[in-house]
Amino acid sequence: MTVRNNKVMMMSNRMSSAFAISALAVSMVAVTNSAHAAQRIDNVSVVQTAPAVTQMRLGFTGLPVLPAAYQLDDPSRLVLDFEQVQNGLASRFNEYNIGAINEVTTLSSDSTTRLIVGLKESGNYTTAIEGNDLLLTITDPNRPVITSDPIQDVLNNNNSMTTTAVVTPIVESSTVPVAPVRTTSKVVVKNEVPADTMVVRVNPLLNPQLAASQVSSSIAMMG
């Protein structure tokens, strides 16, 4: 009787453990589903960061969920399916016409939100997560992507750039000959008395004619 009771108790404990494990697994799945269900796309913005690069930013209420994506042609479209994500966008259709993106159409069900991105033409795309935002970058394969790295490499590498000196020939223009300017200098001759010359003053009394002329001049002045 005692052995039978022990077996019953052991079976009961095993059943309780199995039930507890099952309940724990169910609760974990429920928590995971509720966490995904809490995600919601609230806003979409489009910007062209380069002539060949267009970026679409999806704003989530929490950690973004990576979508299942595939492309369609005729017309070119990019379809993004977000599982366990709600649609919080106010409009079902949004027209952008920015870069490679024409418009974005939103479809949603109880468990999935689908974004249909209308493209001007098919291109390459990459995804990245920044906080609560999912960045979708679309690159036009027919146009080169211009970055600053090649310029930086050229500046850092002295051998990558060759400079050729440009020599401009000098053309001589005809000039009118100019006659030489002649300058004349005025020569002033100063009569100087040599140092060895004796100056002789003539006494008018010794010359009657000179005395008469001086007397006549004096009388004329007095009269």
Burial of 70 (0-12, 13-18, 19+ CB in 10 A): exposed
Let me know: does 127 contact 141? Beta carbons within 8 Å: no
Residue 105, token pair as written in the block: 């159409």
Half-sphere exposure of 176 (CA within 13 A, CB side): 2
Half-sphere exposure of 47 (CA within 13 A, CB side): 5
pLDDT digits (tens, 9 = 90+) for 95-126: 999 999 999 999 999 889 999 999 999 889 99
Position with higher pLDDT, 176 vs 95: 95
SS3 assignment, position 186: coil
In angstroms, how far is CA 183 from the centroid of its own chain? 67
In the chain, domain spans: 1-37, 40-139
Provide CATH code, domain 40-139: 2.60.40.3500
| Predicted confidence (pLDDT) at residue 188 exceeds the cutoff of 60 | no
